[in-house]
Structure 1
Amino acid sequence: MPGYEAWRAGKLEDAHWFFLERTIGHPDCADVWRGLGNVAWTYRNFVYALACFNIALRLEPWNPMCWGNLGLVRRDLGQPQAAIAAFRVALGLDPGYAPALNEWANVLFDIGQYEEALQLYDASLQIDSRRAVVYHNKGVCLRKLGRVSEAVHYFNNALALDPGYQYSLEERDRLLEKEVLVTDVEGW
């Protein structure tokens, strides 16, 4: 769908107008409402995104992506328990829906449940090991736990999949720089 292509390419205005026009001709198409919600979410207009995702969910309550989108926006609205509930429904509909595991892990990370988050990142990677974002997120969690060498390993895995992943590059380089400084000070 051209709206999703525009959204993924960062052409948010084009995507917004594409989906908005489609709501007139196709008001019962969940993909259109999810697309409009994704654009709103990218703009950080979480209330509008929630409204769009709720319409998509009403149209396709069996679609794990709709539940995953609902969980994502609930997380960003500061509603971790509602987010977790949505991710559980998504996984109940499709136990192999790896994005829901990753996002659930992110919620656990946000509320300080780092060890539990690691388990869900691992489960997500077992289902789909080709998503750089999951390696990155696990690296951030490991860094938070002080497990620096493991964190660097996961940032490297993310970069192997997506060499331009700026966040992983910055995290890894920051950790490596700290390691060099610590080694220099200890060896002094």
Structure 2
Amino acid sequence: MNHDHALTDAIRLHIRMGHGDHARELLDASLKRDPDHAEHLYLRGTLNAAAGANRAALADFDGALRLLPGLPPVLFSRGLILFRLERMDEALTDFETLADIQPDSVDVWTNIGIIHTREGRPEAAIKSLRRASLLAPESPLVLRMLANALRDVGEYSESTRLHRMVVESTPADPAALTDYALSLLSLGEIVKAHEQYQRALVTAPGDQTALAGIYMTSNELGMGDVVAALMDYESLLAYGKVATEDQIDLDVLRETVLKHEQLLWEPAGRSTKAGKQSPMLDLSEASPFSRFQRMITRHVERRMRAIGQSSDILGHPWLATVPRKWRLQSWITVLEEGGQQTPHIHPAGWLSGVFYVDAGSPRVSGAGDLVFGRAQQDLPLQRRMPERRHRPIGGELVMFPSYFFHNTTPYAGDGPRISLAFDVIPVER
């Protein structure tokens, strides 16, 4: 075995054993000697991808593909990174190229279907996912994605049938349970949907989608006490102007946000309409958002201490999974004239929030307000939901449980409405 093969084997062994730092040291040294080592570029790309360094991973995968065009593992990895960066057309091109090379790959067809779903093309998604289901007819993931796409085109009965099959095969999967519940809810089966959301919460007590679903179904079933506890705005919603206290220069932050090179107009699969949104921001110390990250971290820690000391919400289901370890993720939203965000939750988070860099100058009372409690509009819900409306101001920080439905009213004003949203993401030990 020559030195190169021995080095590559050692790097792969470090990666398999979870010794990423050692593997990176060897890769960096190797690539300094030989920048055109395709396999080492690929391996370093996988490390960068695992660390969330998406742009660095993309550069490594691009380098590897320049040297070895069309290599399937690298194409697949680059497609996933492009998806993370919300460069959907490029991601789709990589996966469609792979489909020509590996037409019997379930993962390739599934990812094509997921991209079409994200891009708002459910018919194309169904076509790709049916291809995947022929290759793997018992795959719970494929069946669930297909069922979700069928719900998107109004095929509620077929969607529900497939979701039922998935739940029968994976009864402890909270995502399967909540997707099944949503399909039942679309059919107006409120009681059955409520039961599935409850099952999901028992299976995964921190599931924000389950909590949001229980809120919707409890409201429809007239369970006022449950609704009042889940949407206890006085105890669970926090806001205040913090920019001055934390010495945040709003003009500088505003300029940094508006010149961000990855702002996308109405990104697919997001709630932003008539506005721009970024992928996840780099919050490292070297980034222009490091001061913002430190500010949010301080206020999140303060908020979590206050929540833990509050006697008003003892026993609340949201508190069953207060994260011991967590990380922040954040993104930019810029609403232009007529811009708004449709009702949504943040299922990946535990605590969420938004910092207003510039609330704009609304010309109409209520334009650009933040609204809590209003569920998504494609469901047959009849009862009025308890809402809380808030008019944001520049330099203000608002925090709320991630299961809270929230949206904005259409913005009409002079200058853009600029905010930085964030999630507290639980990290497993």
Establish whether TM, by shorter chain, passes 0.5: yes
The two structures have a TM-score, normalised by structure 1, of 0.78
SS where residue 167 of structure 1 aligns? helix
- 2:214 & 2:44 partners in 1: Cα distance? 35
- Give the letter for the 1:133 counterpart: A
Alignment of 1:40 onto 2:89: no
Worse-matched range after superposition: 120-129 or 135-144: 120-129
**2:99 is matched with which residue?**
57
**2:206 is matched with which residue?**
164
The Cα of 1:64 is off from its aligned counterpart by 0.7
Q: Going by fraction, where is helix more abundant, 1 or 2?
A: 1
Alignment of 1:155 onto 2:206: no
Q: Higher relative contact order at CA 8 Å, sep ≥6: structure 1 or structure 2?
A: 2
- 1:87 & 1:133 partners in 2: Cα distance? 18
Computing the radius of gyration from Cα coordinates, the structure with the larger value is: 2
Provide closer, same or farther for how the CA distance between residues 58 and 155 of structure 1 changes in structure 2, counting only shifts above 3 A: same
Contact 1:138–1:154 at 8 Å: present in 2 too? yes
Aligned-pair identity (%): 23
- 1:122 & 1:11 partners in 2: Cα distance? 38
The Cα of 1:17 is off from its aligned counterpart by 4.5
- 1:164 & 1:150 partners in 2: Cα distance? 21
Q: Which runs of 5+ in 2 are unaligned?
A: 1-42, 227-382, 384-429
Summarize the alignment of residues 87-166 of structure 1 with structure 2, pairs less than 5 Å apart. 87-166=129-208
**1:180 is matched with which residue?**
223
- Give the letter for the 1:97 counterpart: S
The Cα of 1:86 is off from its aligned counterpart by 1.3
- 2:167 & 2:46 partners in 1: Cα distance? 25
SS where residue 166 of structure 2 aligns? helix
The Cα of 1:11 is off from its aligned counterpart by 5.2
SS where residue 44 of structure 1 aligns? coil
1:111-132 residue CA offsets vs partner (Å, 9 max, x unmatched)? 1111110011122233433432
SS where residue 211 of structure 2 aligns? helix
Contact 1:105–1:121 at 8 Å: present in 2 too? yes
Provide closer, same or farther for how the CA distance between residues 175 and 22 of structure 1 changes in structure 2, counting only shifts above 3 A: farther
SS where residue 112 of structure 1 aligns? coil
Contact 1:29–1:59 at 8 Å: present in 2 too? no
Provide closer, same or farther for how the CA distance between residues 30 and 127 of structure 1 changes in structure 2, counting only shifts above 3 A: farther
Contact 2:178–2:210 at 8 Å: present in 1 too? yes
Provide closer, same or farther for how the CA distance between residues 27 and 10 of structure 1 changes in structure 2, counting only shifts above 3 A: same
Worse-matched range after superposition: 124-133 or 1-10: 1-10
1:10-35 residue CA offsets vs partner (Å, 9 max, x unmatched)? 55445544544443455444333233
Q: Going by fraction, where is strand more abundant, 1 or 2?
A: 2
Alignment of 1:75 onto 2:117: yes
SS where residue 191 of structure 2 aligns? helix
Contact 1:64–1:97 at 8 Å: present in 2 too? no
- 1:78 & 1:118 partners in 2: Cα distance? 20
Provide closer, same or farther for how the CA distance between residues 36 and 160 of structure 1 changes in structure 2, counting only shifts above 3 A: farther
Q: Which runs of 5+ in 1 are unaligned?
A: none
Count of aligned positions: 185
Contact 2:167–2:180 at 8 Å: present in 1 too? no
SS where residue 164 of structure 2 aligns? helix
The two structures have a TM-score, normalised by structure 2, of 0.38
